[in-house]
Structure 1
């Protein structure tokens, strides 16, 4: 397929499924905590706006949660089908970590999800709030174990190798490996930001359409407060994560920077734009800022950043890809900070909800969090190459022995099935968002009885079948 062998097709297939999957957990993590905050605020203030928002976003959460579970299961199977070498080599570590995720997080989410989605008016408010908090906690615990497993692949420790197989020796070191804290906080905050901009874009869309009510204003305002406060914090976490990566994966940093060699005694410049060429070993058309690379990456004006030429060719990541994926992530982060600052200015001017240029800005920024997450994961995972377990097992040694034709058919099947199944789910979710929160929603959700609304039996039936345009309901 396209002249690629089975090894590269397997990598593309895993990248494709991960890219589809990671969008759903990111939104799930953020929305679960958002729902807990909404219900907590409603219990404290009895302001019906919070309750209406809770019921609205719980429907979106249900659809998103379902698609995340399905896409995650499919992705997990690939460890055995396409990456059996990795499973055999490191399964004694990744297997238990993923098992812990299921036992502690998935069971917690699944156990309380039904109460959260369908228990309103069926259980007491305290118990329902507890269920919502447990689902939110479950998403955080899931993130903990998934990032522990993935981080160990980047900075492995706490193991020995016997007979060509990894044997765990110290589980505390395995879980709390050197990159884990940085990656955990970076990913968790990224999920909160992605959800905030998702919510904010929904509010902006309704305000632009003239659907202006207290619920729309409240969710728009909450999203922008999140952007203002958390986006700068994410930048600081990213800086700390970069310093950790420089210590443990210097080749990745050199590839991200498109930095090939260090002239003696010269500080490292920051290359803003350019085209890294892996064959010619240089970055073409480089636009550089002197000293800034050293200042950002070493916090000094004289220390040098490792250069790609100091690493063997077979150990270098593909600089062209991660050079640009990293810059896409940074650009999204800067735009997020800009949006947050503008929102503060408009609050002061009392024009937050009626400045159409700003509303369009917020609407267009809706997918920015997800774009940043995808770009960040491309940077992280491609930057780890050619290792699947950094410095321990090469990716070429981890792949299963499949033929080119087999992998081509498999990849095409994934593309067709994912595009159709998750495309329908995405369209349904967008229709829910376009409908917007309804005043008084949730009063009779679970009353039952003849002629009354019944509790939906499935998450996808959590909304009325006909999703009218807001203008049609006036």
Structure 2
């Protein structure tokens, strides 16, 4: 399977595989942490125990997701030293401190208050517990801040100097952290995380609404809140994506050419809806296009000029055959989310949100859509950066460790086996948790120290609730 690939390509496949597994967990936990904070805030404000039950329901799911995200992230970070040591050496003075700040601020904040959020409601009281939940939510957002700053700097490097040994060293930390693409990327990713969480929560709520004919109040709360988020955030995400695209056009025009499928430079460029890009022949086959709309979107002028991939040498171009389709998958899912959100607004207006079984079925189907959109967007971003690790400065082929292909292939095979076994089991467990009726909920002590110490819990607590979620 891997015998025809060189060490560089195998290292790229390995990093793509591990980051694809990793990113789905932070994308979910960022949104879910904020959702938990909103639920607990509504409980304190309205004094309605239903919100606390929904909070406890998702609290356990958040804990499992958070744990899998931490483990997959640690494994991924080691590859900078094993497979990408040249990149680590050259970019370490910039990348290393930024990742260190993420650990010292975001991760310590999350880890420090996570235990209180999971086990501490009856120990510290509602107000302090709510503060702990807010700290976990803020920690997840801070984590996104630092990681996206690192990634954005690799796309739009700024504030650096080059020392005598060829390393990129800090010259202006403000310019490094707030590099040109960072604000757009941060907003786009955080909104994507919120939408990802909304559609998972909405799918679980819709599943139970369908099973119980809308009688389960916990399911109704989930379903309603998720669809409010879809209706409000989907248009904001589309707008943020447009601004991000314009920023990319300014700083990475070759990526935009690949995303749009343009090989030739056009004044009044069409918007290519579908087609088959052929990088070898430098042509878009079977193109379905809307005249001049591409220029209008990208330049805000019907006759604006949009550069094609032929403006760059072949060795400096990203592969349009991948980027073109990953971009369309992301955009299509975004508009599907908007459609579900508008549909829900119409059903609210007509007074039948919980009676529309087709809307509930659509919500269930759309449950994993956020993860697919995040992966498609990540592929668009990272493959579109090729052939560079640091855009315009350091090529991918010059960043890899001096390893032989069999060594990288062996570790890649090991990763595939272990990841599918471990994280597959984790995802299966999450799905079993989501099958439970929301009105049951979980008590704090269900996963508290008494269980881990082997002490019999109080009679009011069902000790098998978490361990046997399918019952």
TM-score by length of 2: 0.95
* In structure 2, C-alpha distance between the alignment counterparts of 1:444 and 1:172, rounded to whole Å: 45
Following TM superposition, by how much is the alpha carbon of 1:6 offset from its aligned partner in structure 2, in angstroms? 1.0
Residues in 1 aligned to 2:86 and 2:395: alpha-carbon distance in whole angstroms: 10
Match of 2:230 in 1: 227
Tell whether 2:256 aligns with 1:250.
Answer: no
- SS of match in other structure, 1:209: helix
In structure 1, distance between residues paired with 2:414 and 2:460: 39
The answer to whether the Cα contact below 8 Å between 2:208 and 2:216 also exists between their aligned partners in 1 is no
Shift of the 447–77 alpha-carbon distance from structure 1 to 2, 3 Å rule, reads closer
| Residue 311 in structure 1 maps to residue 312 in structure 2 | yes
* Cα deviation 1:407-446 (Å, max 9, x = unaligned): 1111111000000000010000100000132347438767
Structure 2 counterparts to residues 114-125 of structure 1, below 5 A: 114-125=115-126
Alignment-derived partner of residue 36 in structure 2: 35
Deviation per residue, 1:360-388 (Å, 9 max, x gap): 11100001111110000000000000010
Hey, what's the Cα distance between the residues in 2 that align with 1:464 and 1:439?
11
Point out where structure 2 has 5 or more consecutive residues left out of the alignment.
none
Q: Could you give the per-residue CA deviations for residues 290-332 of structure 1, whole angstroms, max 9, x where no partner exists? A: 1000011111111111110011111100001000000000000
- The 1:106–1:166 alpha-carbon spacing in structure 2 relative to 1, beyond 3 Å, is same
Matches within 5 A, 1:291-440: 291-439=292-440
Q: Structure 1 CA distance, aligned partners of 2:316 and 2:100?
A: 32
Deviations 1:388-411 (A, max 9, x none): 000010000000111111111111
- 1:105 corresponds to which residue? 106
SS of the equivalent of 2:273 reads: strand
CA distance in 2, matches of 1:44, 1:447: 29
1:355, 1:81 → 2: CA distance?
53
Q: Which residue of 1 aligns with 2:10?
A: 9
Partner of 1:209: 211
Inter-partner Cα distance in structure 1 for 2:457 and 2:283: 73
User: Match of 1:239?
Assistant: 242
Correspondence for 1:262 among 261, 265, 269: 265
Of 173, 183, 192, the residue aligned with 2:175 is 173
What SS is found at the alignment partner of 1:271? Answer: strand
Contact 1:120 1:442 in 2 (8 A): no
Cα 1:315–1:455 shift into 2, 3 Å: farther
Partner deviation per Cα, 1:178-206 (whole Å, 9 max, x = no partner): 00000000000000000000000001111
What's the secondary structure of 1:437's corresponding residue? coil
Secondary structure in structure 1 of the residue aligned to 2:374: helix
- CA distance in 2 between partners of 1:201 and 1:439 (Å): 18
Cα contact 1:316–1:385 (8 A) shared by 2:
yes
Q: In structure 2, how many angstroms separate the alpha carbons of the residues matched to 1:324 and 1:342? A: 27
Q: 1:182 aligned to 168, 180, 184, which one?
A: 184
Q: Deviations over 1:120-148 (max 9, x none)?
A: 21111111000000000000000000000
2:143 corresponding residue in structure 1: 142
Aligned to 1:185, what secondary structure does the other structure show? helix
Per the alignment, in what secondary structure is the counterpart of residue 279 of structure 1?
coil
2:466 to 464, 467, 472: 464
SS at match of 1:284: strand
TM-score, L = length of structure 1: 0.95
The 3-state SS of whatever aligns with 1:157 is coil
Counterpart CA distance in 1 for 2:368 and 2:470 is: 24
Q: CA deviation at 1:60?
A: 0.3
Give 1:38 shift.
0.4
Rounded Cα–Cα distance in structure 1 between residues aligned with 2:294 and 2:263: 13
How far off its partner does 1:462 sit? 9.4
**1:192 — aligned with what?**
194
Aligned to 1:472: none
Aligned partners of 2:344, 2:143: CA distance in 1, in Å? 33
Unaligned residue ranges in structure 1 (runs of 5+): 470-474
Change in CA separation of 1:182 and 1:279 when aligned onto 2, cut-off 3 Å: same
Structure 1 counterpart of 2:63: 62
**Deviation at 1:81?**
0.3
- Shift in Å, 1:453: 5.6
**Aligned equivalent of 1:452:** 458
